[in-house]
Amino acid sequence: MSSRSLLIAAAAFGLMALQGPARADVEPEALVEPVAEYKLYVLDNLDAFVGHTRDFTRAIEAGELERAQSLYAPTRVYYERIEPVAELFADLDASIDAREDDYEKGVDDPDFTGFHRLEYGLFKQQTTDGLAPYARRLMSDVKDLESRVQGLTFPPAKVVGGAAALMEEVAATKVSGEEDRYSHTDLWDFQGNVDGSQKIFALFKPLIAEEDPAFVERVEDNFAAVEATLAHYRLAANDPEAGFVSYEKVSDKDRRALVGPVTVLAEDLSTLRGKLGL
Amino acid sequence: MSDQPDNTSRCPFTLDRRRFLQGLGAAGVGVAAGGLGRPARAADDHAVTGAPVSTTTAQAYPFHGRHQQGILTPRPAAGMVVACDVLARNRTGLERLLRTLTERIAFLTEGGTYPERDPAYPPADSGILGPTIAPDGLTVTVSLGASLFDTRFGLADARPRHLQRMTGFPNDALEPERCHGDLSLQICANTHDTTLHALRDLIKHTPGLLMVRWKQEGTVPVVPPRDNGPTPSARNYLGFRDGTANPDTDDATLMDALIWTGDDPEEPAWTRGGSYQVVRIIRNYVERWDRTPLAEQEAVFGRHKASGAPLDGAQEHDTPDYAADPEGRITPLDAHIRLANPRTPGFEKHRILRRPFNYSNGVEANGQFDMGLLFIVYQADLQAGFITVQNRLNGEPLEEYIQPVGGGYFFTLPGVVDATDYLGRALLEATAT
């Protein structure tokens, strides 16, 4: 079927809203620069992630409960931004970011480590007692992640697919508030995923902007809608570092208001690889 | 469904295509098995994993008409109700939602082939029924909840007269996460997979417009075809026939009086041709019920369990004569069917059309089954219909074995009359500023 008759068929079936135009003619060389820039973005975030993890884990080892609690969410943000890359290393992703649901014995499972094990101790049990071994393990895992990513060749399809993968993360576990169930810092992670997705979209946008301005406009509108709702829950409007209110304070109405643009972004960004011929 | 043989004219190439595919399959098996040193085994209709065969995949109900399908349409074996919140941010978004639902339902209920896409894109469809879908008796019925008639879309002045948020009756234990919604989709078909396919198509096409709030799937047991006499009503999970006393759906005048909204001058004009839909998720305590003496079960319902006949009758559709039994010696005065329809003069206007399915969801913490009735009824007047009948039933002996846990009240939109029309057009036009 020609692309023209495909479009006609699509129109007949009412699929125009989903059906992108035929793929843009993107030369493979055109992908080199954005992929390289993305790697720099990832490495910058990893660098910050290592530094923040160091402060966070030191606070735990020093028994500074309140300081450790306050550093939990700001540290995770860097991981959440680059999650599609971090997840390429399944062993580290499990030891750094698995949730208790991933283990049959839940919080008591000896294999349950990483951020969410520490979250359980810091926010549910309200103590740093017994957490030092988990803190040391997290620090070494995060350093391991950084060195592995430095040597990694970034596959373009994985990089571009990451924009959609991050929105799938948001849709699946952030909106429900199950990611950070003890600290209720889900909005930090939410923002991290959205940041990471937006970065990828921004890097590749020039390659499709001319071919498909309506798509670009819709994606940007929906990112803006998500950002506007998130901004509503910032502790200080002009200070991103100040972070967010507890997810428990987000109204049902706003949770639903987030689902709309997040779902449209997940649908739209799922076509980004196709548009770039990947 | 194109992967199944189909003896109708709708897809004349289906059989040939299937044989062709089987040929390919056989060749593939031959190569693989040959490599293992075993004899090749031809795929045939008796293969263990061959798809089960149905003769009703081509069954289709016309989408266009004064009323939506799924109300007077004969109830098929599979059905579900999906309640959604509408995420559209304005009237433009709401109209896009209703037009999209109209287009998709028109396609899904007629069947056809999905467009092929560049493989670099996600496919146009889930593909769970293959690239070409058969209608398989599918109906999708769209209804609106009272919560949609708020300030978001300027519909507040157009709310159907009796539409309200469902409130609990004395025996209810409503769970908020299984109640209410801005919009309900009742999806019915000959097979469960066809309903799921339709649901996934509808949700995929309405991102940012709909968010599923709750979903309840159900089935009814099938019976062999009958040469003569009425088909018996299907049984519920208490083992009793359900829906016997429904009004005659072939009687158009009766349907206009009891089922279709429109005659009441106090109803907004746009509601004409619609109907009030009540959905209730009614848990049945089946273990306890199965440990109850048969005579007591029959007294609770007022019917014989095996035949479905009223206690003073011999056949399912015999009319009980309560006037001859004023003290309830044969049919107890508090038997379910006697309370629900006392067969007294003047009660006709309270009759409702039952179209329920049975559900089975899993196991409770106590090891007992979460089973029951996905109760769905339609009526022209919610107050005169379900609410009146349910108030008569409050305190009935059956309550010991059942408990409503979810559901909601909705107004089923009038039908889509032709290709230029869409679901809810009259409502949006009536409220345009």
* pLDDT score at B433: 85
Q: Any CB–CB contact under 8 A between B122 and chain A?
A: yes
Residue B3 predicted with pLDDT over 50: no
- Nearest-CA distance from A261 to chain B in Å? 6
Give Cα A79 distance to the centre of its chain. Answer: 8
Q: Residue B374's beta-bridge partner residues?
A: B281, B357
Tell me the helices (H) and strands (E) count for chain A, helix number first. Answer: 12, 0
Q: Which residues of B touch A257 (CB under 8 A)?
A: 87
Distance CA A61, CA A71 (A): 13
Token readout for A267 is: 């649908």
Q: Residue B358's beta-bridge partner residues?
A: B219, B373
Residues of A engaging B, defined by a Cβ cutoff of 8 Å: 1, 6, 9-10, 13-15, 17-20, 22-23, 222, 256-257, 259-261, 263-264, 266-267, 270-271, 273-274, 277-278
Phi-psi group of A157: left, alpha or beta (phi > 0 → left; psi -120 to 50 → alpha; rest → beta) = alpha
Residue B373 predicted with pLDDT over 80: yes
* pLDDT score at B39: 52
Run of H or E including A216: helix A213-231
Distance CA A182, CA A247 (A): 10
List the 87-106 stretch of B: residues with Cβ below 8 A of A.
87-89, 100, 103-104
- Pick the residue from chain A with its C-alpha nearest to B89: A257
Which residues have C-beta within 8 Å of that of residue A213, sequence separation ≥ 6?
none
Distance CA B379, CA B390 (A): 13
Tell me the helices (H) and strands (E) count for chain B, helix number first. Answer: 9, 11
Nearest alpha-carbon partner for B417 in B120, B52, B182, B102? B102
Q: Which of A263, A265, A276 is the best substitution to test chain B (most B C-beta atoms within 10 A)?
A: A263
- Pick the residue from chain A with its C-alpha nearest to B107: A13
Residues present in chain A in total: 278
Q: Which residues of A touch B116 (CB under 8 A)?
A: 1, 6
Residue B283: φ, ψ to 5° = -65, 135
Nearest alpha-carbon partner for A52 in A28, A26, A82, A73? A73
Strands B402-412 and B139-145: antiparallel
Token readout for B409 is: 């009240």
**Cα B361–Cα B366–Cα B369 angle in degrees, nearest 5:** 30
Q: Any CB–CB contact under 8 A between B265 and chain A?
A: no
Which residues have C-beta within 8 Å of that of residue B123, sequence separation ≥ 6?
B114, B117
Q: What is the dihedral of CA B52, B53, B58, B59, to 10 degrees?
A: -80
* pLDDT score at B69: 98
Contact A79, A49 (CB under 8 A): yes
**Digit-coded pLDDT (tens) for B64-121:** 999 999 999 999 999 999 999 999 999 999 999 999 999 999 999 999 999 999 999 9
Note down pLDDT in tens along chain A; length 278 residues. Answer: 344 444 444 444 434 344 444 555 688 889 999 999 999 999 999 999 999 999 999 999 999 999 999 999 999 999 999 999 999 999 999 999 999 999 999 999 999 999 999 999 999 999 999 999 999 999 999 999 999 999 999 999 999 999 999 999 999 988 888 889 999 999 999 999 999 999 999 999 999 998 899 999 999 999 999 999 899 899 988 887 889 999 999 988 888 888 999 999 999 999 999 999 88
Q: Which residues of A touch B207 (CB under 8 A)?
A: 260, 263-264, 266-267
Q: Under an 8 A CB cutoff, do B87 and A257 touch?
A: yes
Q: Any CB–CB contact under 8 A between B115 and chain A?
A: yes
Residue B33 predicted with pLDDT over 90: no
Q: Under an 8 A CB cutoff, do B115 and A273 touch?
A: no
- Nearest-CA distance from A39 to chain B in Å? 23
Which residue reads 């135009």 in tokens?
Answer: A21
Contact B403, B173 (CB under 8 A): yes
Q: Under an 8 A CB cutoff, do B100 and A14 touch?
A: yes
Q: Which of B211, B212, B214 is the best substitution to test chain A (most A C-beta atoms within 10 A)?
A: B211
Give Cα A193 distance to the centre of its chain. Answer: 2
Q: Any CB–CB contact under 8 A between B118 and chain A?
A: yes
Distance CA A71, CA A49 (A): 12
Residues present in chain B in total: 433
**Digit-coded pLDDT (tens) for B6-22:** 444 344 334 444 443 44
Report DSSP letters for B140-196, one per residue: EEEEEEGGGSSTTTT-GGG--TT-------TT----GGGB--SEEEEEEESSHHHHH
**Digit-coded pLDDT (tens) for B199-221:** 999 999 999 999 999 999 999 99
What pTM, to 2 d.p., does this model score?
Answer: 0.87
**Percent of chain B beyond pLDDT 70?**
89
* pLDDT score at A24: 59
Q: Please report, for residues A97, B197, B199, the alpha-carbon distance to residue B8 in angstroms, rounded to integers and kept in the order given.
A: 55, 22, 25
Report DSSP letters for B195-238, one per residue: HHHHHHHHHHT-TTTEEEEEEEEEE-------SSSPPPPPB-TT
**Digit-coded pLDDT (tens) for B143-167:** 999 999 999 999 999 999 999 999 9
Contact A30, A207 (CB under 8 A): yes
Which residues have C-beta within 8 Å of that of residue B98, sequence separation ≥ 6?
B142, B422, B423, B424, B425, B428
Token readout for B392 is: 């008569």
* pLDDT score at B27: 39
**Interface confidence (ipTM) of the complex:** 0.83
Q: Is B145 helix (H, G, I), strand (E, B) or coil?
A: strand
Instruction: Please report which confidence band the pLDDT of residue B34 belongs to, taking 50, 70 and 90 as the band edges.
Output: very low
Distance CA A253, CA A246 (A): 16
Read off the DSSP letter of residue B181: -
Distance CA B210, CA B217 (A): 19
- Closest residue to A20, CB basis, from B107, B115, B121: B121
- Closest residue to A263, CB basis, from B107, B124, B208: B208
Question: How many Å from the N-terminal Cα to the C-terminal Cα in chain A?
Answer: 20
Instruction: Please report which confidence band the pLDDT of residue B262 belongs to, taking 50, 70 and 90 as the band edges.
Output: confident
Distance CA A168, CA A87 (A): 14
**Percent of chain B beyond pLDDT 90?**
85
Which residue type occupies B388? T
Q: Under an 8 A CB cutoff, do B85 and A256 touch?
A: yes
Give the side-chain half-sphere CA count within 13 A for A207: 26
**What b/e readout covers A160-176, taking b as 16+ CB neighbours within 10 angstroms?**
bbbbbbbbbbbbebbbe
* pLDDT score at B360: 98
* pLDDT score at A6: 42
Strands B139-145 and B132-133: unpaired
Interface size, chain A vs chain B, as Cβ–Cβ contacts under 8 Å: 69
Distance CA B169, CA B404 (A): 9
Q: Which residues of B touch A9 (CB under 8 A)?
A: 115
**What b/e readout covers A16-45, taking b as 16+ CB neighbours within 10 angstroms?**
eebbbebbbebeeeebeebbeebbebbbeb
- Nearest-CA distance from A179 to chain B in Å? 20
Q: Which residues of B touch A266 (CB under 8 A)?
A: 207
Read off the DSSP letter of residue B330: S
